[in-house]
Structure 1
Amino acid sequence: MTAATPGQPIGSSSKTSPQRPRAVRSVVPARLDRLPWARFHWLIVVGLGVSWILDGLEIQIVSQAGFKDSLGLTNADVGALGSVYLVGQVVGALFFGRITDRIGRRKIFMLTLAIYLVGSGLAGLSWNFWVLAAFRFVAGVGIGGEYSAINSAIDELIPSHYRGRVDIAINGTYWGGAAIGAAANLYLLSDAVPKSVGWRIGFFIGPLLGLLIIGLRRHIPESPRWQMTHGHAEEAERTLDDIEERVRNDGHELPEVDDKKAIKIVPQKWIPFGQLFGIFFSTYPRRTILGISLMATQAFLYNAIFFSYALVLEHFFKVSSAHTSYYFLPFAFGNLLGPLLLGPLFDTIGRRVMITGTYTLSGVLLAISAYLFQAGSLNATTQTILWCIIFFFASAGASSAYLTVSEIFPLELRGQAIAVFFSIAQICGAIATSLYGHLIGGANNANPPRGPLTVGYYLGAGVMIFGGIVAFFLAINAERRSLEDIADPLTKASDELEEVA
């Protein structure tokens, strides 16, 4: 790659510039990756990881539609609100993904959390469908922006030895939020709380958690990696000095920096939008296929099962709608435990083996459960147990999809890469939600047919197994490797370039 003159967009020709490109030699990645685990890293986990908890909480609070009767909404209106939130997430991810790569991680993860707080909080004050839809869209924009900025910051701040388990665990905490939402709904939507009040309180839970976290985020620095590649070398050094001082204050001794791991960078400010497609489909086509496959297949499976979960319990197992949360809680905990317990294996056994294994095993188990479902061998309890086992593995696999797309592309477009693949996943998820809704749609008689939904379960199983096969052939062995070793920064200078004195 020909290095551009500082200040030029990456990919533009340096021949038109009268200045010779000058490189900056940096050990920023090496300094970050050799750090031992310290309280600073727990600050990153708690301060940034709350985003997924908030998203899971939002989805669960809204999925039970406690506001339906209070606002006089139809089933179609409730479905439309879910779509509005989804569209908001896609818009937020694409917009803020582009911006975070240009102006930094910290500014965006502070802004997007504020947007979410406003959107979700005001949703609790809604008085009709259109007002609620507008605030749901705003909340979705905030959460979508969080996905881009937060995943970027986490990967760039966490040492390479821990990156896999941390990223997977944080993505898995979505289900912790869903469990909180389900538990809250058991009380808020019961007769103990007025129907016109309970759902409004539910919308305030997320903003209250967010207000507690926004103070923590003030102590999280900008990514030194981002500063290094965007012409802020001195700021990157100061940021790293502060991080290292925090680690030393915890009683840790820091190992010497391996000078051989230094890289040369020609700092740039931005990447032309059109160059993204060349990087995805020309420079890294195999990685692009991998990212699309993993994100699309896990989203298809999750939306297929998650959004039809209550309907299956009600129509096929005769569980009352008021009691579905009791079955959802163990399902949520199974999804949470998978990433927490299996996450470390992605850093030890490795990405390829674990991604292939979790995708394939969850697909095979779903196919077995589909057979038992069709045979009428399951009741509500045994069906829930099977789903817990299936999604113990599927949740770790799904979280690894987010990890994959956030670490296999160059640093300068990390936020945009996450946004693009996240948007693809959301579209596939929306297709699955609609499809499985239709498969259950005819289940209104006393003995609803199981055949259509069984076929849908086999389809979901096949989709996950396909994702596992793609991972077997295309997954990147990124475990314990520096981000700069996995994908060269676009700003990486050629060896012959003169360094800045």
Structure 2
Amino acid sequence: MSETSEPGSGHRSAGGLGDPSGGGPGDPSGGTVTTAVPARLDRLPWSRWHWMIVIGLGTVWILDGLEVTTVGNIASRLSEDGSGLDITSAQITGLAAALYVAGACAGALFFGWLTDRYGRKKLFMVTLAVYLAATAMTALSFDAWWFFLFRFLTGFGIGGEYAAINSAIDELIPSKYRGRVDLIINGSYWLGAVGGSLLSVVALNTAIFPKDLGWRLTFAMGVVLGLVILLVRRHVPESPRWQFIHGRGEHAEELVSSVEREVEREHGRTLPEPGPALTIHQRKSVGFGLIARTVFGTYPKRAVLGLSLFIGQAFLYNAITFGFGAILTTFFDVPSGNTGYYFAVIAAGNFLGPLALGKLFDTLGRRIMISSTYLLSGILLFGTAWLFDRGSLDATTMTACWCAVLFFASAGASSAYLTVSEIFPMETRAMAIAFFYAIGTAAGGISGPLIFADLTESGKVGDTVLAFQLGAGLMCLAGLVAAFLAVRAEQRSLEDIAKPLSAV
């Protein structure tokens, strides 16, 4: 029988830990522990501690946006004579983009498994280090094969980041704020995209940098920013939820108690009593077989929901972003050196979506917001395709249409990560994120660049219209799935949404 708190003993003792039957506190060999750590974390008011988590974990998406956007916008320069690489624009937007996404899928699965086994903190430090090293090597590219290799490895690190960081965010942020925080953090990718767009304008200016140097400096800038983030991230703690399940209950207790004291000092009041405690059977790891049975056997409808959301948003974004520069230069005669200005505008629209709509995911609820953002973005993209086919758009109005589409699509796409990170049991969280990200992104993110690069660069209006319609159709289908299957997870604890596999 595990220890529990005595009635009226105060909120910090509600997470009492012990294991007379298994070998002592913190032993991972099979003891039980009763803890109120999840309830204590969920009832915390917003504080400086939460801001530290947001900055330490969320800023890496800015790097991802900087990375992807920069490569897309400098594709035309890399393919020119004198760039230092023998590579074509189609290879960059097609093969290199597909390799980046393939690396992200592989990295998500590999590091996702390690994250559930060895903890969130270790892995979000390791994955950022992999990303930084691969980005630095990309800047030193001397041949196409080298560029392709390190694009894959850069994606490998980023994929691991998705699993480690999203699981850590959801387990550290109070349930009242979880939806909006998760959306805004994932949406911060587009702040990096704005920076990458503007940076590419400077890098492509041969009056400032030679052809073979400017694009290298854009990657170097990403490394510098990543090193700063690495320093901040050292202060982000391990997830107490992961700790108490994996035999480190005393560490979880100490961490949460210290955070409670810090928050009480900051707000000048005593925290309210937490919700009920949870009794779990500690375990060291969970096998792939149990994860698969849980995701597809226990929660088949949730599995369909996760796949639909990821595939829909992956195809919509590939339909627009991978051919963005080619569409502007081919159909609207925009100089390649100026496409970054246009992309900065739609990137800003992308970030405004989660920023403006994020709170509604916690108030109006997940089902109505997920389904409506997916459906609205799909319908608006159908409308954009119709206007483009009629010849009614120019570079400015096309960009305005994309802004409207992506305002809603960005919130929807970010909610896909939120959804799969909160609707499955804690022991499977990182692997669930990794699996759905990998499958959905492989379907839309590997085949997407290869399909859309040909369609948008063919110079035929009908081909580009088809690319838009394909992305819009899959987004609408995902929205209909969400209307029926989305889980009402707003302001509910993770343990209430999906009972831990280790729960007694």
Q: TM-score, normalised by structure 1?
A: 0.91
Kindly provide the amino acid, as one letter, of the partner of residue 353 in structure 1: I
Question: Which residue is 2:447 aligned to?
Answer: 431
Partner of 1:13: none
Q: Residue 39 of structure 2 corresponds to which residue in structure 1?
A: 30
Alignment correspondent of 1:131: 146
Which residue of structure 1 lines up, in the alignment, with residue 87 of structure 2? 73
Secondary structure of 1:24's aligned partner:
strand
Cα offset for 1:76?
Answer: 5.0
C-alpha deviations, 1:189-246, integer Å up to 9, x for none? 1122111111111001111111111121111111000001111111110111222233
CA contact (8 A) 1:88 1:139 kept: yes
Shift of 1:320: 1.8
How many residue pairs are counted as aligned between the two chains?
471
Following the alignment from structure 1 to structure 2, what is the Cα–Cα distance between the partners of residues 466 and 141? 29
Q: Relative to structure 1, is the Cα distance of residues 114 and 249 closer, same or farther in structure 2, using a 3 angstrom cutoff?
A: farther
Amino acid aligned to 1:330:
V
What is the identity, as a one-letter code, of the residue corresponding to 1:300? F
* Residue of structure 2 aligned with 1:222, choices 238, 259, 262: 238
The correspondence for 1:277, drawn from 283, 289, 292, is 292
Report the counterpart of residue 488 of structure 2 in structure 1: 477
Mapped contact 2:135–2:219 kept (Cα < 8 A): yes
Is 1:315 matched up with 2:330?
yes
Give me the whole-angstrom Cα distance separating, in 1, the residues matched to 2:96 and 2:268: 50
**CA separation in 1, counterparts of 2:54 and 2:382?**
35
One-letter code of the match for 2:477?
Answer: F
Residues 159-190 of structure 1 deviation map (CA, whole Å, 9 limit, x = unaligned): 00000000000000111111111110111111
Within a 5 Å distance, the mapping from 1:56-71 to structure 2 comes to: 56-63=65-72, 64-65=74-75, 66-68=77-79, 69-71=83-85
Unaligned runs of 5+ in 2: 1-20, 24-28
1:440 is the counterpart of 2:456: yes
C-alpha root-mean-square deviation of aligned residues, in Å?
A: 1.6
Are the aligned partners of 2:330 and 2:457 in contact in 1 as well (CA < 8 Å)?
Answer: no
In structure 1, distance between residues paired with 2:463 and 2:213: 38
Q: CA deviation at 1:75?
A: 3.5
For the residues of structure 1 that align with 2:434 and 2:270, how far apart are their CA atoms? 35
Mark the CA change 1:6 to 1:431 in structure 2 (over 3 Å): closer, same or farther. Answer: farther
How far residue 57 of structure 1 moved from its aligned partner, in angstroms, is: 0.8
* Structure 1: stretches of 5+ with no match in the other structure: 8-18, 444-448, 494-501
Distance in 1, Cα, partners of 2:78 & 2:34: 57
Matching residue of 1:203: 219
State the one-letter code of the partner of 2:358.
G
> Offset at 1:22?
4.6
TM-score (norm 2): 0.90
**Change over 3 Å in CA distance of 1:254–1:475 after alignment to 2:** farther
> Aligned equivalents of 1:254 and 1:277: distance in 2?
43
Distance, in Å, in 1 between the alignment partners of 2:499 and 2:421 is 14
Contact 1:266/1:492 (8 A) holds in 2: yes
Q: Which residue of 2 aligns with 1:497?
A: none
In structure 2, do the counterparts of structure 1 residues 206 and 245 end up closer, same or farther at CA, with 3 Å as the change threshold?
farther
Q: Distance in 1 between matches of 2:150 and 2:308?
A: 32
Contact 1:334 1:391 in 2 (8 A): yes
Letter in 2 for 1:75: S
Match of 1:86 among 101, 105, 122: 101
Query: Which structure 2 residues correspond to residues 96-495 of structure 1 after superposition, within 5 A?
Result: 96-191=111-206, 192-259=208-275, 261-427=276-442, 428-443=444-459, 449-493=460-504
2-structure distance, mates of 1:439, 1:242: 56
Q: Deviations over 1:55-93 (max 9, x none)?
A: 111111211224333212233542332222222211211
* Deviation, structure 1 residue 54: 1.0
Residues 481, 252 of structure 1: CA spacing in aligned structure 2 closer, same or farther, 3 A cutoff? farther
Query: What's the counterpart of residue 45 of structure 1?
Result: 54
Structure 1 residues 152 and 198: alpha-carbon distance in aligned structure 2, compared to 1, 3 A threshold: same
Residue 110 (structure 2) aligned to one of 95, 110, 114: 95
SS in structure 1 at match of 2:393: coil
Give the whole-Å Cα distance in 2 for the aligned partners of 1:418 and 1:461. Answer: 24
CA contact (8 A) 2:101 2:445 kept: no
